[in-house]
Structures are given as C-alpha cells and as structure tokens.
Chain A
C-alpha cells in the first residue's frame, strides 16, 4: 500500500516566498563553502547527505489531500484540500483503461478540506465517476455552496462527472475501493471524522482535525483502540502541547506529544505528523519533528515508533 501526500498544511494553503528561497540558498551555500564543496560530485553528495530537509526541500503548503493507492483501477483519497488540484492533474495524465473512478473520504467540510474540489480536473470529465463519502449531513451542501455564485464561476451543477455523495456512519465499517473503512467521530468544531482503512493485514488511520481532551480517559482509550496496531497513523499535530491546552484549547486540533503518546499506547508502527500550522516555516516544522523524535526516544516502551512529518509529495510505503 502506498500513501501519497498531495496536501499537508492546515487551515489555509501557504507558499514559500522569494525571501524564504533566498534564505535557503544562502544557508546552503554557506554550508557548502564551509565543507569545501568544489566539484559536481561533491555537490550532489552534499545535497543528498549533508543538507537538512528544511534547507534542501520544503514541506509544501497545500491543504489536506492524501491519496491511498488501491489494488484496482480506481483512486482513493482523504479530503479535497488544495492538494487535490495536483492530485487531479496526476490522474488526468495517467493512462486510463476506462472511465476515471475516484472515491473520497471526507474528514469534514471546513474550507481547507474542500477547497481543492473546484480545481479537481476529473470533476469536469464526462463519464468520470466520483463518490464522496462522509458522515456529515451537510456534505453535499458544502460542496455545492463553495461553487455557488458569487464565490466561484462554475456552478457545481455544471460539473460533467457523475458525482455521488454517500453518507457513512461512525463506527460502521464499509467496503470502499478495496479497503475495510471505519469512520470515527472526532472532537472538532462541527465534528470531524477519522478513518481507519484496512486491507491485506495492514491498517492506515487518517485522523486529522481532531482535538484530544486529556481529562477523559475513556476518550483516550477509544482513540487507542482506533489506532490499535496501525502500520501508519496520519495525525493532526498542529500545535505544541502548551498551545493545545491553553490559548488554543477548543480550537479542534492536537499536538505532537499527544500523537506520540496515543501511538505508543496503541503500538502503532509509524506516526506521521500532519496538518502543519500555516505560520510555521520549513525550519520550524523540521525543529518540531526533531523534538518529537526525541520525545519518542525519551518515552519509548518496548517498541520503537517511527515519527515523520508529512510533506507535499511525500510517499510512504505501508
């Protein structure tokens, strides 16, 4: 199973500025000079081995859209944030043996999770079939609303694809795109839903826009059960713990530390931090990742937990 991240940022898309790129170049060249890089071979090795990710690359800035490769012709994704535009482009440029089929699991319908759909090319293709799954009663209404005048020039009714909305129920497992999919209610303004996807003895959990109240052990236990033995948990780690329990309490998001603790309790193999704070630059996200890896080391039990930070374009083989 391959998981491909098309959008990993929370709340609103962001982009590197020219000043950001200049800073990266200056820092990278200063390091290269200090290390005596004076040939193309040394340069390639330097970039591959010595440069920090936050200097040599970027975490990206698209809002949530995560593709999970299926074992059949159709596509499966979680959320339709701004990353969905590039995802749609990839679909359209891939060879198709028949009409395009895309299934989408929606965590919720806040803007950052649906804003990519008006730019999702398959929605404009006659004969394409798109099924949008979610637990919210307002699922279809939200998608139509964002493409209503005066907000967008193309009304939802003019989309050429066959688009179907399918209501799911929390706790009720269904078969979607070859996966056993179980939604779970999460704490977020207007509610959000996480999804546990299982196939061939592997489990992936997509759990974004989810606040974890630490005073309720039964709630903690329920999430431990939801994450239990998962190979990969994609987790909303937008805030520091301090923010999550103080000034940003009840804002509907979680922290890196709570992610590690829940993953350790559930014996998860890989925790991927997701829904990055839009105010954070690459260096800050890298710093949070390094601290989280250290926290996992400090608190590790019998099983090591792999910790990563999602970036646009990242692929994880499960």
Chain B
C-alpha cells in the first residue's frame, strides 16, 4: 500500500492512501512498522495523516492499535489527523477516539505535538 512519509523536525507525517481493510491491513502494518520503531522517547513523533484514506475496517483499526501500543511502550507518540467524515465516524463508533488524540488538520496535530516542527512545516 502506498504510504507517503515526510519529516518536519522531530515529527514524521505518514500519509496512507486508499482503503485500509481486511485485504491490505497487513500491508499497512508492515508499511508503517519501520517508522513506528523510530517513534520512541527523544525520537520522532508520528502524525497519521488520513486525508487520503476513505475507509478503515476493523482489521485496519487493529493495526492502528498495535502501532500506538508499541509507540507508547517505547515512550513515543502517535496521533491522527485530517480524517475524512466517514473515517471520523468509524473512529468514533469503534471508540478509538478514546486512545488516539485526533486533529482536524495535520497542521493542528503538528502544532500540538511539536511547536518546533510547526516552523519546519510552515516553511
């Protein structure tokens, strides 16, 4: 699955595109795994930019949970931004909003997790 990545100071923005469902959730998991490994204390904070994702199934959400769990154990932080309306509703129904901090835009997410990175993002 296509997952774009871009670094702004100590923030890594991951931007998957398309559906994350039963058919490709393991591809998604494998795709983000190397980045999650780097998400630790004094490492990069991760913003999952979901603007290009139009659907996430339960299998996909489970991958989100595994990534968050690993990052948290390492002292890292993963947040979610720019969800499309359908994905936002799925997040709410699944109760994943209780685990993930969510933001309307990538800019807002970066501003919250690293003001220093915001300068790089706006540059």
> Which chain A residues have a beta carbon within 8 Å of chain B's beta carbons?
214-215, 217, 220, 240-243, 245-246, 255-258, 261, 291-292, 294-295, 298-299
Contact = CB atoms under 8 A, between A and B. Distances in A.
9 contacts: A214-B62, A215-B26, A241-B96, A242-B94, A245-B61, A245-B62, A261-B22, A298-B89, A299-B55
Contacts of A246: 65, 69, 99
Interface in B84-115: 86, 89-90, 92-96, 98-99
Interface in B53-102: 55, 57-59, 61-62, 65, 69, 86, 89-90, 92-96, 98-99
A291 B99 contact: no
A220 B21 CA distance: 12
A195 to B, nearest CB: 24
Nearest to A212: B58
A291 B93 contact: yes
A88 B83 CA distance: 52
A127 to B, nearest CB: 50
Interface of B: 22, 25-26, 55, 57-59, 61-62, 65, 69, 86, 89-90, 92-96, 98-99
Nearest to A260: B58
A256 B69 CA distance: 22
Contacts of B61: 241, 245
Contacts of A220: 22, 59
Nearest to B68: A246
Query: Which of A245, A258, A298 has the most chain B CB atoms inside 10 A of its CB?
Result: A245
A210 B25 CA distance: 22
Given A242-B95, A245-B58, 6 more contacts: A214-B59, A215-B62, A240-B94, A241-B94, A246-B69, A292-B93
Contacts of A298: 86, 89-90
Q: At the interface, is chain B mostly helix, strand, loop or mixed?
A: helix
Contacts of A243: 95
Closest 7 A/B residue pairs (Cβ): A242-B95, A241-B94, A240-B95, A214-B59, A291-B93, A214-B62, A245-B62
Given A242-B99, A246-B99, A214 B58 contact: yes
Contacts of A255: 58, 94
A257 B58 contact: yes
A270 B26 CA distance: 30
B75 to A, nearest CB: 19
B93 A295 contact: yes
A235 to B, nearest CB: 13
A240 to B, nearest CB: 4
A240 B90 CA distance: 12
A137 to B, nearest CB: 33
A241 B90 CA distance: 10
A299 B58 CA distance: 12
Contacts of B98: 242
Most chain B CB within a 10 A radius of its CB, from A214, A255, A292: A214
